[in-house]
Structure 1
Amino acid sequence: MRKWIAGAGLAYVLYGLFFYWYFFMSGDSAVPEAVKGTQADPASFMKPSQLAVAEQYSDVKNFLFFISIPLDWFLFFVLLISGVSKKIKQWMEAAMRFRFLQIIGFVFVLSLITALVTLPLDWIGYQVSLDYNISTQTASSWAKDQVIDFWISFPIFTLCVLVFYWLIKKHEKKWWFYAWLLTVPFSLFLFFIQPVIIDPLYNDFYPLKNKELESKILALAEEAYIPADHVYEVNMSEKTNALNAYVTGIGANKRIVLWDTTLNKLDDSEILFIMGHEMGHYVMKHVYIGLAGYLIVSLAGFYVVDKLYKRGVHFARNLFHVEGRRDLGALPLLLLIVSVLSFAVTPFSNAVSRYQENKADQYGIELTGDSEAAVRTFQDLAVTGLSQVDPPFLVKLFRGSHPSIMERIQHAETEENTSEHPASEQGDDQ
C-alpha cells in the first residue's frame, strides 16, 4: 500500500513539475510575424506592463487548473488502496440499518473529504484573483459560495449514486443504458431550473435597467426575429472586474444575461455586438445542439464506464479492498473512472464549443454590421480579464471553450461589414 501511494504521489509531483516548467520556464509568448502591427497584436492595445501582468496571471491560473484536475484522482486512489473507503462503508453499515441511509451517509463523508482536500487550491485561486484585481469578492462571500456549491452538488450527487446502486442491483448488465435514459429528463430539468432557481442563489438577476440600451437591444432582437423578453443583468461587480455575457436555460426559462461589469465598462456598440453574439447562439440553437451532443456522448460514456468499472473491480479487487461492483466502498473507483474520462473528452467538447463561438461571433458582426465594435470588445475582454491573447497549446486544448482573443480579432477583421445579413432568413425558422 505504501509503495502504491508513494508511486502515485511521485507521479502527481512529476506531473506538477512538468506543468510548472511548461507555464513558467518554457512558454513562448512571441507574437507571430503575420500578426505584428495588426489589431490582433496585443502590443497595439495593451501596455508592456499590462502584457507582463496578463502573462503572469494566466500562467498561475492555468497551472492551478492543471494541478487541480488529478488531485481528485489521487484522492480517490488513496481512499481505495488505503482501505479508508472500505472503513467508511463499514461505519455506515454499523450506524444505519437501511441501505439508502448508508449510501447517503457514505456520499456525505466522501463529498466532505473531497471538498476539504480541494479547498486549499480553491482558496489559492481566489487569492490570486484578488491579488491581480480580477476578483472583488469578499472572503465571506467567497465562503458562502463554497457552501452553496456543496449543498447544491451534494443532493444531486447523492441522487445519482442512489439511482446507480438501485440500477446495478436490478439491471446489472444494462444499468448503464437505463442510467443514460434517466439523464435525458434529468438534464432537461436542470437546464430548465438553473436560470430561475440555481443561478439566483449566487447573484441577483433583474431586467436591464438602461432603458435606452434596452430599446436598442429589442430592436436588434426584432431584426433577428427573436423573442425579446429574456435580457437580464446580474450584479457581478460585487465579485469580479471581469466582463461576460451568456445564454442559459431552455424553453420559457431561456435567458440572455449581461454582467453589470460589461454594462459599466463597454460602450453601447460593443454591448450590442455581444448581444448579437448571444442572439447568434439562440438563432443557431446552440443550447439545444449542445444538450443533444452531451446526451449522445454520454451514452457512449456510460457504456465505457460500465466496461472499465467492471474490469477495474475484477482486476483490483484485493488491491482496492472491494467486494464487487455493488460494493459501496468501490464508489471512489467509479468516480475515478468518470473523472478521467470526462477530462479525456474535454478537447472534443472544447473544439465543438470553439466552433459555435466562432459562428456566434460571425452572426453578431453580420447582425450589427460593426466589425470594429467586435474588435474593440475582444481587446477590452483581454485587458479587463488579463487574458493571454494567444495562450499555449495545452491551454487551448483543455481550457479553450472559446477561440483565442487573437483568433477572434483576426476573424473579425476578415468579416465584411454589410447591411444585408442572413439573420432574418434564419429567424424565419423560429
Structure 2
Amino acid sequence: MKKKWGLIAVLTFGLYVVAMYFYFFYSQNSGIPATLKGTAADPSTFLTAQELVLSEDLSKIRNFLFFIATPFEWLLYIVIMSTGISRLFERWSPEQQKWAIWRNAMYIFLLSFLLFILQLPLDYYQYTLSKSYGISTQLFSSWMRDNVIDFWLDFGMSVIIVTVLYWLIKKSMKRWWLYAWALTVPFSIFLLFIQPVVIDPIYNDFSPLKDKVLETKILSLAEQADIPSEHVYEVNMSEKTNAFNAYVTGIGENSRIVLWDTTLNRLTDEEILFIMAHEMGHYVKKDIYLNITVYLLMTLIGLWLIAKIMPWMISRYGSILKIKQMSNIHSLPLFLLISSFLLFFSNPLSNVVSRYQEVRADEYAMELVENPEAAVSTFQQLTKAGLGEVNPSALVKWFRYSHPPMLDRINKVADQAKEE
C-alpha cells in the first residue's frame, strides 16, 4: 500500500510536468494586442530580432521551471516521509543530549542537506540557463558560495524557529499556532531591521554612491518627497548579473536606498531618477508597513490552517507517511509540505497586493519627476536587460508577477507622454 501511494505521487508529478510542458511550449501564446503593434509597448520596437527570439524562448523555460519546481519540492517531502527517511534522521539525532535544540539541530541539518543535494541539479540548471542567455555573469564558484551561505543562514534560523515551534506544539496542541504567530511579529520586524546591515553585506559589497552629482540629484528628489535620507548606496552586482535593479530595504535608521552598479553603468541619469522616484513612492505610500501587515495576516491564516490540516492528515495518512504524532520532529516535512502548498496558492493574492503597490509607485514617480519619456525608456531597458516577457498569460501573471506586465506599464506612461 505504501509503495502504491509513492508510485501514485511520482506518476501524478510526471503527468503534471508533461501537462505544463505542453501548455508553455505548445499551447500558450500571449502575443501583443493588435492595437499596440508598433507602439512603444511593442517589444519589436526596442528589442532586436535575436532578443525577441531569446526573450520568447527564455520566458517559456522560466515559466515552466517555476510551475514544476514547487511541486517537485512537495514530491521530495512525500518521498522523505513515506520511505521512513525522516524517522531515520530523528533516530540519528543524539537522544542523550539534554537540550532539544541540539537534537533538532542534527535532524534539521540532515533534512536540509538532503533537500539541498536533491534540489541542486534544478538550481544549477537555472543558473546555467541564465548564463547561456547572457543575463548572469556570475562565476560558478561565486554562485556556489551564495548557495552555501543560503544553506547555513537558513539552517541557523530553522534551528531556532523549529525548536520554538515544536516546543509550543508540545505545550499546547490547541493554541500553538496562535502563540507561534505572536512570536512571528517581533521576529519579522527584527529581520527587517538587521537585513540591510547584517545579512545583505554577506552576499555583496555595499558602498556609498561614488557619483556625487547623481547622489545630489537623488537626495534632492528625496527632499521633495519628504524622505529623510543622507546617503545612497551602490552594490557591486555586475560580477553576478547584467540585469538592473534598485530598491529600498530595512526600517527605521537601518533603511537604505540601494542601486545596482549595472543600473548606474547602463542607464541615463534621467532613467535612474525615475527608478529612484518609483522606490521613493513605496516609502511615501508606506508600502513596507502594508507588506508587513499582509504578511502577518497571511501567516496567521496559514498557521491556523496548518493546525487544522496537519492533525487530520496524520490521523488519516499517518501510517503511509510514517508519522505517529504531530509533536515529533520527524513530522517537520509534513509541516513544510503544507506550508509550501499554502504559500504557492496564496501567490495570486499576494501578487495582486504587490501589483497594486507598484502601480501606485509608478504613478507617484510620474508625478515627482514629470518625465514620461524617461519612464518609457527605463521600462524598455529593464525588459531588454532581463529578456522579460512583456505580456504573460493570465496563469503566469497570477502566480509569478509581483509587478504589472511591462506591456501595461509602458503603455500607460507612453499614453501620458503623448498627452503632454
TM-score by length of 1: 0.95
In structure 1, the residue matched to 2:205 is 204
Instruction: Give the Cα–Cα distance (whole angstroms) in 2 for the partners of residues 230 and 59 of structure 1.
Output: 40
In the TM superposition, residue 381 of structure 1 has moved relative to its aligned partner by 0.6
Instruction: Describe how 1:229-240 pairs up with structure 2 within 5 A.
Output: 229-240=230-241
In structure 2, the residue matched to 1:164 is 165
Report the secondary structure of 2:321's partner residue.
Answer: coil
In structure 2, the residue matched to 1:423 is none
Report the secondary structure of 2:234's partner residue.
Answer: strand
User: For each residue in 1:163-198, what CA deviation from the matched residue of structure 2 results, as whole angstroms up to 9, or x when unmatched?
Assistant: 111101112210000000000000000000111110
In structure 1, the residue matched to 2:102 is 101
Gaps of 5+ in 1: 420-430
Instruction: Give the Cα–Cα distance (whole angstroms) in 1 for the partners of residues 325 and 378 of structure 2.
Output: 55
In the TM superposition, residue 63 of structure 1 has moved relative to its aligned partner by 1.6
In structure 2, the residue matched to 1:36 is 37
Deviates more, 1:89-98 or 1:171-180: 89-98
Q: Which amino acid aligns with 1:190?
A: L
Fraction of identical pairs, as percent: 50
Q: Which amino acid aligns with 1:51?
A: L
Q: Any conservation in 2 of the 1:281–1:360 contact (CA below 8 Å)?
A: yes
Report the secondary structure of 1:317's partner residue.
Answer: helix
Instruction: Give the Cα–Cα distance (whole angstroms) in 2 for the partners of residues 302 and 416 of structure 1.
Output: 47
Q: Any conservation in 1 of the 2:101–2:159 contact (CA below 8 Å)?
A: no
Q: Any conservation in 2 of the 1:369–1:418 contact (CA below 8 Å)?
A: no
In the TM superposition, residue 347 of structure 1 has moved relative to its aligned partner by 0.7
Instruction: Give the Cα–Cα distance (whole angstroms) in 1 for the partners of residues 417 and 37 of structure 2.
Output: 22
In structure 2, the residue matched to 1:271 is 272
In structure 2, the residue matched to 1:243 is 244
In structure 1, the residue matched to 2:135 is 134
User: For each residue in 1:85-142, what CA deviation from the matched residue of structure 2 results, as whole angstroms up to 9, or x when unmatched?
Assistant: 1122122255756533221111110110111111000000000011011000000000
Deviates more, 1:31-40 or 1:263-272: 31-40
Q: Which amino acid aligns with 1:156?
A: M
In structure 2, the residue matched to 1:428 is none
Q: Any conservation in 2 of the 1:347–1:398 contact (CA below 8 Å)?
A: yes
User: For each residue in 1:35-56, what CA deviation from the matched residue of structure 2 results, as whole angstroms up to 9, or x when unmatched?
Assistant: 1121111111112221111111
Q: Which amino acid aligns with 1:62?
A: N
Instruction: Give the Cα–Cα distance (whole angstroms) in 2 for the partners of residues 96 and 331 of structure 1.
Output: 20
Q: Any conservation in 1 of the 2:238–2:261 contact (CA below 8 Å)?
A: yes
Q: Any conservation in 2 of the 1:180–1:298 contact (CA below 8 Å)?
A: yes
Q: Which amino acid aligns with 1:34?
A: T
Cα distance, 1:206–1:417 mapped onto 2, change above 3 Å: farther
Deviates more, 1:322-331 or 1:354-363: 322-331
Instruction: Give the Cα–Cα distance (whole angstroms) in 2 for the partners of residues 195 and 139 of structure 1.
Output: 25
Deviates more, 1:123-132 or 1:62-71: 62-71
Deviates more, 1:28-37 or 1:302-311: 28-37
In the TM superposition, residue 415 of structure 1 has moved relative to its aligned partner by 3.6
In structure 1, the residue matched to 2:334 is 333
User: For each residue in 1:253-304, what CA deviation from the matched residue of structure 2 results, as whole angstroms up to 9, or x when unmatched?
Assistant: 1111111000111001000000100000010011111011111121111111
Instruction: Give the Cα–Cα distance (whole angstroms) in 2 for the partners of residues 374 and 396 of structure 1.
Output: 22
Q: Any conservation in 2 of the 1:366–1:417 contact (CA below 8 Å)?
A: no
Instruction: Give the Cα–Cα distance (whole angstroms) in 2 for the partners of residues 15 and 250 of structure 1.
Output: 41
Instruction: Describe how 1:28-427 pairs up with structure 2 within 5 A.
Output: 28-93=29-94, 96=97, 98-415=99-416
Q: Any conservation in 2 of the 1:357–1:403 contact (CA below 8 Å)?
A: yes
Report the secondary structure of 2:39's partner residue.
Answer: coil
Report the secondary structure of 1:233's partner residue.
Answer: strand
Q: Any conservation in 1 of the 2:215–2:231 contact (CA below 8 Å)?
A: no
In the TM superposition, residue 27 of structure 1 has moved relative to its aligned partner by 2.2
Q: Which amino acid aligns with 2:85?
A: V
Q: Any conservation in 2 of the 1:40–1:410 contact (CA below 8 Å)?
A: yes
TM-score by length of 2: 0.97
In structure 1, the residue matched to 2:26 is 25
Q: Any conservation in 2 of the 1:365–1:417 contact (CA below 8 Å)?
A: no
Report the secondary structure of 2:327's partner residue.
Answer: coil
Q: Any conservation in 1 of the 2:209–2:231 contact (CA below 8 Å)?
A: no
In angstroms, what is the RMSD of aligned CA positions?
1.5
Deviates more, 1:181-190 or 1:46-55: 46-55
User: For each residue in 1:176-235, what CA deviation from the matched residue of structure 2 results, as whole angstroms up to 9, or x when unmatched?
Assistant: 000000000000000001111100011001111111111111111111111122521100
Instruction: Give the Cα–Cα distance (whole angstroms) in 1 for the partners of residues 215 and 322 of structure 2.
Output: 61
Q: Any conservation in 1 of the 2:373–2:417 contact (CA below 8 Å)?
A: no
Report the secondary structure of 2:310's partner residue.
Answer: helix
Instruction: Give the Cα–Cα distance (whole angstroms) in 1 for the partners of residues 30 and 45 of structure 2.
Output: 15
Instruction: Give the Cα–Cα distance (whole angstroms) in 2 for the partners of residues 222 and 92 of structure 1.
Output: 56
In the TM superposition, residue 418 of structure 1 has moved relative to its aligned partner by 10
Q: Any conservation in 2 of the 1:362–1:415 contact (CA below 8 Å)?
A: no
Report the secondary structure of 1:324's partner residue.
Answer: coil
- Number of positions where the alignment pairs a residue of Structure 1 with one of Structure 2: 419
Report the secondary structure of 1:22's partner residue.
Answer: helix
Instruction: Give the Cα–Cα distance (whole angstroms) in 2 for the partners of residues 405 and 361 of structure 1.
Output: 12
In the TM superposition, residue 414 of structure 1 has moved relative to its aligned partner by 3.5
User: For each residue in 1:394-416, what CA deviation from the matched residue of structure 2 results, as whole angstroms up to 9, or x when unmatched?
Assistant: 22111100001101111212447
Instruction: Give the Cα–Cα distance (whole angstroms) in 2 for the partners of residues 3 and 94 of structure 1.
Output: 33
